[in-house]
Amino acid sequence: MTLHPKERPDGITRRDFLLRTAGAATVVSGAGSILAACASETTVESPTGTGGEAVGPLGLPLARPDKRITIPFWEDPIASGLEPETGGTFTVFNYPDYLYKKLLRDFGKKYGVDTDYTSFQNISSGIQRLASGAVTPDVMEMTPDNLERAVAAKLIKPLNLDYIPNLQNNVWPGLASPFYDVDSHYTVPYTVYATGIFWRTDEIKEDIASMPQPWDIFWQAGDYKGKVGLLSEERETIGMALLRKGILDINTEDPKLIDQGVADLKQLYDICNIKVDDVQYQAVPENRSWLHQAWSGDPIAAYIYYPLVPKGTPPTALGFWKADKGKVPIQNDCWSVCSTTKKPVLSHLWLNYLLDNGIAYSNMVNFNGYQPPLNEISPEKLLADNIVPEHLTNAVLTNDDLGSDSLQYGGLTARGQQLWQDGYSDFTAAG
Amino acid sequence: MTAVAEARRGELSALYRVRGWLRNPWARPRFLVLVTWSYVLWSLVPVLIAVQFSFNATRSRTEWAGFSARWYWGDPVDSVWHDPTLRHAAIQSLKLAGADVLIATPIGVLLAIGLARWTGWGSRPSNFLMLFPLVTPEIVMGVSLLLIFTQVFTFIGTGTIAQILGHVTFSISYVVVIVRGRLFSIGRQYEEAAADLGASPTVALTRVLLPLLTPAIVASAAVVFAISIDDFVISQWLSSGGATDTVPIRIYSATRAAPLPSTNAIATVMMLFTLLSLVLAFLAWRVFTRGERRARAGQTKDLAVFEL
Amino acid sequence: MYRRWLWPGFAFPGVLWLIVLFAVPFYAVIAVAFGTVDPVLLQADPIWNPLNWNAGWILEVLGRLAPGGTFFGVALRTIAYVAIALALSLLIGYPVAYYIARHAGRMKSILLVLIILPLWISYLMRMLAWVNLLASDGYVNRFLTFTHVLSQPRDWLGGQASTVILALVYGYIPYLILPLFAALDRIDQSHLEAARDLGASPWSTFRTVTLPLSKAGILGGAVLITLPMFGDYYTPDIVSGAPRTSMIGNQIDFYFHYGGQPTIGAAITVILAAFLTVLMAYYMWTIHRASREVRTV
């Protein structure tokens, strides 16, 4: 499963999370399957639907950009036109350091409630805590991969979009009704990011963007031993090896493909003594890493927050490349309303609040660094406001990057998740 | 050498000693001196340099640019005082250490006295059990505690309470070891004397034994405080996210990414807390054992703390 | 004078605590490792009754640790790192402990304080200190190029095994020196004088008297630092970050923290603990033997 970048136990500082993007997925596999607990069972059953395809816990197929799923309501959404609740405490459940707290406080002041921010370390432990009743938040940050599971366990409420006009008004059409939640029955999007290559143009001689297959640079990085890194993510690393060879099914569960990807990655030990971490947003500007797989928020965060080392290096020393549409993995996070909320109307209004252009912009620029999928927050605007320099505008995504032919690391069956995890373990063990 | 020759040599001047040294400058003591002091320097100088750079005027940790306190309180964004993540980490570290001391010390003291004097059938396994945490690799303890709080005691889960419970678990053994050493050196004589003079068991315990144990109790409290502040593995495994991160966890993530001198600064601050508590404990020990030292020759008994 | 139940009564809270929060969690790891995996969440499903234990995951991990398996290399590498680090630590630590114990004279207390000091400085701060020093433009490189030992700066932090081993030595050696010192300090001077009186040279006195008498200290200290070293995962992370220098602890960390498969993580932990139990058992036995001498309070 892909992990949310914030799901690192080492405690990311506020700056660190800048890279973090969603993608934390716990495998979604059939709740209806029976795991035979025979004495030496080590594989996990993966249930299949009528078409022989893998299904999620609701019996729907696993969501993919070209396989849109509509999640049915398990209860009726709240009625329209109700007044927001006041008094008491409004609680947000999210990764640590992933929301500009001032925005939360302002929201509380506007509606006359106290606010609280509870954090989870990774999305699956967050869902478990929610399920066990250990926490009773009003709203929760969600990832597409865990959506079906949360709905199956009735942990999140269906939405009444009358309270969330900003969804249709401001959000990219591609995410206003995303493939994993057609008609936005349960979620609204939060941040969006893509995976690419981040490097120091003053250290790397090659012109990566004009290479026929830019991912090959890692296999040609012999001159940069010890300064090359990949994201410490099982999906991103093996997925990159697949994309490099032109295999676009990054949700494959074919052991042969996964093994080949791992074998390719293993070549990197000798070629460039590859490192695996998630510190590129700091390490690249500080010249500790010259070439690193990165998320699109990283160069933006680097540009905003980290002065380049050595002193006086121009910002053009930062380079970013991402593949064209259909070949670049794009991920996004969302928000949803928890079933435990005592303030459903206010919760809807919070979702709307976060999709306000000004609020989302403030969240990104003053704190988050992650791009919200709003029409107004375009590459041109970010360029004009000097959030992003000219040469890094390709790190800003647009609605055009989405579509049924776009790539996203989606949920896998239990067996699939095991394959990817064990492959990644093999790669990091360097045995 | 005969006694006479030895005496004569002692009377001789420094000249003789210099000649002796010149004749064999590589005699083992010289070599050992070199090795020892080189080791001490190698051991401590890097830390001193790290402390020095916490006062660096620029962001660099490798180029000294002048003295400045900006990373401690000056810098409005990144200094230890102003950066909320660093400040909260420091507060969390102190919270855990304080709770650890308050819980582990009493339990450990009682356990030490109990184990030292209990001779029944359960005493050996209990002793064995007490020693185990001292030799268990932290990752094994971290794994076991994480599992117990997420599989069995799920009402606790991960977070501050779990971290406190974990810290106490590995701290108890340290208290026992230190207090037991002290128990060994004072023996039963004072309580027996008190009994001879008509004291009840309660009085003997509270007004004779406990005061005698005070230096060890204070020392073990300081030790527990120090190891709790510096603990990384258990705190990390039982952390539930940003708010429950301690200073070592922040140092870890910062060191892997690209540390600022503020990382050096927070590490220095914590180190000062630790050293302060140890100095206080040492002073308390010296104060409380004044009388005994006057009555006893030599220092070897103080090393009884290292007796396991 | 005292009631007989008083001492067990005193011990009770501590023993209860250790049972509930130390022994039971140990058992929980075993129960998870011998358990099954919940298919929906891929979370661990512990099996508490030994009669129902599922050996599948333990066998799976043992298979990976065997030659040809994915963990074979990292297991060997971990053992190699620990062995080399231990050897270096003894090489450096023994002379230091010996000097302080036997020859330091007036400097003894000062030196004792100086070698105890690192124990109270956070491990991570000590690693941070080295990360700063070993940077490309750090003091180490500057010194070595200045003295022409190196012709150009070396990339110490670029995934080097030597850096990891040196970091392990630096981190753990204080825990070795102290018990070594205690053992050497305990050696009665009269033994050595007897040997010298009987005509032994300083070197053979050392070899035949001091060294054997300090063996318990050497072994105890060695066990004391190798056990935690085997579980170390943060040192390679901090000073290297490359898979090629990773240790077995990193795999445990991965399978637990990266939301992966805690059952595999638990299985690796159980096997690691079993491996270390041999060393632990030795240590426990030594301590038990020593503690019998001090039991009479």
Provide mean pLDDT across the span C250-278.
87
Contacts of B250 in chain A (CB under 8 A): 11, 13
Task: Tell me the mean pLDDT in the region C120-133.
Answer: 91
CB contact under 8 A, B240 and A9: no
Q: Say whether both A123 and A24 belong to one domain.
A: yes
**Same-domain status, A237 and A273:** yes
Q: How far apart are CA B18 and CA A330, in angstroms?
A: 77
Domains in chain C: how many in total? 1
Q: Left, alpha or beta for B79 (phi > 0: left; psi -120 to 50: alpha)? A: beta
What's the rounded Cα separation, in Å, for the pair A142 and A159? Answer: 14
Residue C140 in domain = yes
Residues of chain B contacting residue C130, judged by C-beta atoms under 8 Å apart: 46
Q: Is position C16 within any domain?
A: no
Task: List the 42-61 stretch of C: residues with Cβ below 8 A of A.
Answer: 42-43, 45, 54-57, 59-60
Residue A160 CA to chain centroid, in angstroms?
25
User: What are the structure tokens assigned to A183, written together?
Assistant: 């008609």
CA distance A71 to A141: 18
User: Which of B61, B131, B271 is the closest to C122 by Cβ?
Assistant: B271
Question: Which residue does chain B place closest to A93, by CA atoms?
Answer: B241
What does the DSSP 8-state code read for residue B125?
H
pLDDT in tens, B191-219: 888 888 888 888 888 888 888 888 889 98
What residue spans of chain B are helical by DSSP H? Answer: 3-11, 14-23, 28-53, 84-117, 123-135, 138-147, 160-186, 189-196, 201-203, 210-230, 233-237, 247-257, 261-288, 290-295
Return mean pLDDT, chain C: 87
Q: What beta strand segments (E) does C7-135 contain?
A: 36-38, 43-45
Whether the ω angle into residue A310 lies within 30 degrees of 0, i.e. cis, is: yes
- Compare CB distances from B151 to C44, C202, C256 and report the shortest one's residue: C44
Is residue C93 domain-resident? yes
- Please work out, in degrees rounded to the nearest 5, the angle formed at the alpha carbon of residue C55 by the alpha carbons of C49 and C60: 150
Q: d(Cα B299, Cα B144) in Å, to the nearest integer?
A: 41
**Residues A318, A334 within the same domain:** no
Which region, left, alpha or beta, applies to residue B31 given φ > 0 means left and ψ of -120 to 50 means alpha? Answer: alpha
Which is nearest to B268 in space by CA: A10, C139, C132, C178? Answer: C132
CA atoms within 13 A on the CB side of B12: 12
Which residues neighbour C14 within 8 Å (Cβ) at sequence distance 6 or greater?
B107, B108, B110, B111, B114, B130, B172, B176
- CB-based contact C47:B167 (threshold 8 Å): no
Q: Return d(Cα C294, Cα C186) in angstroms, integer.
A: 15
Q: Confirm whether the ipTM is greater than 0.90.
A: no
**Is the separation of the CB atoms in B256 and B236 below 8 Å?**
no
Q: Do A230 and A371 have their domain in common?
A: no
User: Which amino acid is it at C73?
Assistant: G
One-letter amino acid for residue B203 of the chain: V
Cα(A296)–Cα(A304) distance, integer angstroms = 13
Same domain, A308 and A379: no
Identify the CA nearest to A379 among candidates A369, A370, A389: A389
Contact A362, A221 (CB under 8 A): no
Burial class of A362 by CB neighbour count within 10 A (0 to 12, 13 to 18, 19+): middle
Which pLDDT value is given to residue A43?
52
Inside any domain, residue C112: yes
Cβ burial of A384 (10 Å; 0-12, 13-18, 19+) is exposed
Residue A86 carries which side chain, given as an amino acid letter? T
Residue A241, CB half-sphere, CA atoms under 13 Å: how many?
A: 25
**Phi-psi category of C254—alpha, beta or left, where left has phi over 0 and alpha has psi -120 to 50?**
alpha
Token pair, residue A168, equals: 């249709």
> Could you please report the per-residue DSSP string of A138-182?
SEEEE-HHHHHHHHHTT-EEPP-GGG-HHHHHHB-HHHHS-TTST
C106, part of any domain:
yes
- Where in the sequence is the domain holding C155, given as residue range(s)? 76-259+275-294
For residue A13, the chain B residues in CB contact (below 8 A) are 83, 85, 250, 253-254
Find chain B residues with C-beta within 8 A of A11's C-beta.
89, 236, 239, 241-242, 245, 249-250, 252-253
Number of residues assigned to chain B: 308
Of A232, A231, A260, A230, which Cα lies nearest the Cα of A245? A260
Continuous segment of H or E residues that includes residue A90: strand A89-94
Q: Is residue C24 part of a domain?
A: no
pLDDT (tens digit, 9 = 90+) per residue, B268-291? 999 999 999 888 888 888 888 787
Give the residue numbers spanning the domain of A276: 195-324
Contact list in B for residue C114 (CB cut-off 8 A) is 40, 43-44
Domain count, chain A: 2
Question: H or E element: which one contains A259?
Answer: helix A255-272
Indicate the SS3 state at residue A229. Answer: strand
DSSP letter for C103, please: I
| Lowest mean per-residue pLDDT among A45-49, A214-218, B92-96, B117-121 | A45-49
User: Does the residue A333 lie in any domain?
Assistant: yes
Q: Determine the Cα–Cα distance for residues A300 and A302; give it in Å rounded to an integer.
A: 5
Overall average pLDDT of the C210-235 stretch:
87
pLDDT (tens digit, 0 to 9) for every residue of chain A, 431 residues total? Answer: 444 555 443 333 333 333 332 222 222 222 222 222 333 445 554 444 445 567 777 778 888 888 889 999 999 999 998 998 888 889 999 887 788 888 998 999 999 998 888 877 678 778 877 877 778 899 999 988 888 888 888 899 999 999 999 999 999 998 989 999 999 999 999 999 999 999 999 999 999 999 999 999 999 999 999 999 999 888 899 999 999 999 999 999 999 999 999 999 999 999 999 999 888 888 899 888 999 999 998 898 888 878 888 888 898 999 999 998 889 999 888 999 999 899 999 999 999 999 999 999 998 888 777 899 999 998 889 989 888 899 998 999 988 888 888 898 888 887 888 899 899 999 999 87
Tell me if A424 is assigned to some domain: no
Residue C33: which residues within 8 A CB-CB, separation 6 or more? C57, C58, C263, C266, C267, C269, C270
Give the chains touching B; criterion: ≥3 Cβ pairs < 8 Å.
Answer: A, C
* CATH at C236: 1.10.3720.10
B239–A11 CB contact, under 8 Å: yes
Residues of A in contact with B238 (CB under 8 A): none
Please write the tens of the pLDDT for every residue from B127-149: 889 988 988 889 999 999 999 99
Residue C134 in any domain: the answer is: yes
**Rg of chain C in Å (alpha carbons):** 24
Helix (H, G, I), strand (E, B) or coil at A328: coil
Assign domain B83-306 one CATH number from 2.40.50.140, 3.90.25.10, 1.10.579.10, 1.10.3720.10: 1.10.3720.10
Q: Does the distance separating the beta carbons of C250 and A275 come in below 8 Å?
A: no
3-state secondary structure of A231: strand
pLDDT of res. B25: 44
Q: What does the block give as tokens for B192?
A: 């027996």
* DSSP 3-state percent helix, strand, coil across chain B (nearest 5): 75, 0, 20
**Smallest Cα–Cα separation from A23: which of A422, A292, A370, A401?**
A370
Largest CA distance in chain C: 77
Nearest to A427, CA basis, from A275, A248, A245: A275
Same domain, A22 and A158: yes
Q: Are residues A147 and A246 in the same domain?
A: no
Q: For residue A27, report the phi and psi dihedrals to the nearest 5 degrees.
A: -60, 135
Q: Which of A387, A400, A376, A396 lies closest to A166 in space, CA to CA? A: A376
Residue C69 lies in a domain: no
- Tell me if A10 and B249 make a contact (CB, 8 A cut-off): yes
Predicted local distance difference test score (pLDDT) of residue B153:
87
Handedness of CA B125, B126, B128, B133 (dihedral sign): positive
pLDDT tens profile C175-186: 999 989 988 888
Domain coordinates in residue numbering, chain B: 3-73, 83-306
Chains that touch C (3 or more CB pairs under 8 A): A, B
Tell me what pLDDT residue A6 has. 52
φ/ψ (deg, to 5) at B256 = -70, -35
From C219, C212, C239, select the one nearest C127 (Cα to Cα).
Answer: C239
Amino acid letter, A8: R
Determine the pLDDT at residue C246: 93
Q: How many angstroms separate the CA atoms of C161 and C167, rounded?
A: 10
Averaged pLDDT, B246-265: 87
Q: What is the mean pLDDT of chain B?
A: 84
Beta bridge mates, A196:
A294
pTM given for the model: 0.83
For position C266, what pLDDT does the model report?
93
The upper half-sphere exposure of residue B230, i.e. CA atoms within 13 Å in the direction of its Cβ, equals 24
CATH (domain of A391): 3.40.190.10
The tokens describing B32, both together, are 């050992």
